[in-house]
Amino acid sequence: MAELWQLTATELAAEIRGRKVSAREATVATLARLDAVNPVINAVVEHRPEEALARADAIDATLKRGEDAGPLAGVPVTIKVNVDQAGYATTNGLKQQRDLVAKASSPVVDNLVKAGAVLIGRTNTPAFSLRWFTSNQIHGETMNPRDPALTPGGSSGGAAAAVAAGIGPIGHGSDIAGSIRYPAYACGVHGLRPTLGRIPAFNATAPERSIGGQLGAVSGPLARTIADIRLSLTAMAARDPRDPWWVPAPLEGPPVEKRAALTPAPDGLEVAPEVRAAVKDAGKRLADAGWIVEELPATPPLAEAADLQTLLWLADGYDAMVAAAEREGDPAAIHVLRNHHDNARKLDFASFSKLLSRRATLLRDWLLLLERYPVIVMPVSAELPFANHLDTRDDATFARVWRAQMTQIGLPLLGLPALAVATGLVGRTPVGVQVVAGRYREDLCLAAGEAIEAGGTPPSPIDPVTA
């Protein structure tokens, strides 16, 4: 019989709502699992057991009164340290923000609480949430539970490592250039980057984000099953008036033909054989599930979209980011920013206006493709998960890392939803695919993701590997 910490969120919520187990029992089991494995992986960097247990007791009391405790009734969930959670510092991996304690929670955190979640702890991120590797000078380094030689991904590396190791079945993450999808890929779990405006966002502890951040950054869930991704998306997506970008789009769109396009090497990307094989395998799984699957000879520009997204993400406010990184003294963050110095200097008002105009053209091209193929399957990354800290080896390796992530970086410019689906292991290295659909059609990502998932996923949760 499975331990409570091994259950999916969907299973656990049903058991708690049915009064077969209590929310306290589920929380105690998850806290014990945290104590057992977190010292090895350092995924959760702050947690207060007494608060989690008090929250669990409140949910049990709600159920005892015969009242609805929400779709996530009693489910342990982790929160990334770059969003506001009342009473906790929004460090974003920075020493200089160790005392930036939130007085109110962000909308996504409030929505999870309203849905019945038990917030079990805060998960690690790189300094400034800037890398696909998770380490910083305030919380230390997070290790990949499947192989400590591999990155756990970033910037939601703590969330992905926690989910893979059984510290809660759902982790909150955020994504501006792959920060949900890549950690899911690297740790062998699933992760959804939703459409811009699907999940409300706001951090009262921070200044209003630049337009690049507003257009590109979203929150989303990481989980071990697609069913749990769907459940957590429903909880996270509730309206909040603090986010002017939030859109009241239905979570289920109109029926479409089950037609998918495979792009094993989109826009000329050089892709590792194992990654290409995973995309083709995902296509076979979809075909076995009754989907019409075709391989595309070419796609609309994605490398260009990635270049433009990099400018929006890093050049808009570049000097302030550099100054903050130098104050922090984080060598990896400084290395990333210095490698983008020349590109950042290209962004003036005229080029900024041209960039946003070009964004509309690129998005139109992709939306027209998605009219013909409601789902597109492509790599998450051109390579298998990187060796840890590969990006800091030298400038040539940094460029290689950045180039391999083109499929992650380009999609946020377009505001499209994308789901990372874990499909298997190469030795003990995870591999998977990325499923893309039209705006506000996360339901199509999830439908295709479930068909792909049915063909097999890496075992999860796992005990962390230490060598």
Question: Which active-site residues does the annotation give?
Answer: 80, 155, 179
Measured distance CA(58)–CA(389) in Å, rounded: 42
User: Is residue 344 left, alpha or beta, with left meaning phi > 0 and alpha meaning psi from -120 to 50?
Assistant: alpha
Q: What are phi and psi of 45, to 5 degrees?
A: -105, -10
Contacts 24+ apart (CB under 8 A), 436-440: 436/370, 436/375, 436/376, 436/377, 436/378, 436/411, 437/370, 437/374, 437/375, 437/376, 438/367, 438/370, 438/371, 438/374, 439/195, 439/367, 439/415, 440/195, 440/198, 440/247, 440/249, 440/250, 440/253
Sign of CA dihedral 210, 213, 214, 216: positive
Q: In the block, which residue shows the tokens 């969003």?
A: 83
Find the distance separating the first CA and the last CA of the chain, reported in whole Å: 29
Q: Both tokens of residue 361?
A: 């053209």
**57: Cβ–Cβ under 8 A, 6 or more apart, which residues?**
23, 24
- Cite the DSSP H helix spans in 289-348: 303-310, 318-328, 331-338, 341-344
In total, the chain counts a number of residues equal to: 467
Measured distance CA(252)–CA(243) in Å, rounded: 22
Q: Both tokens of residue 102?
A: 């939130």
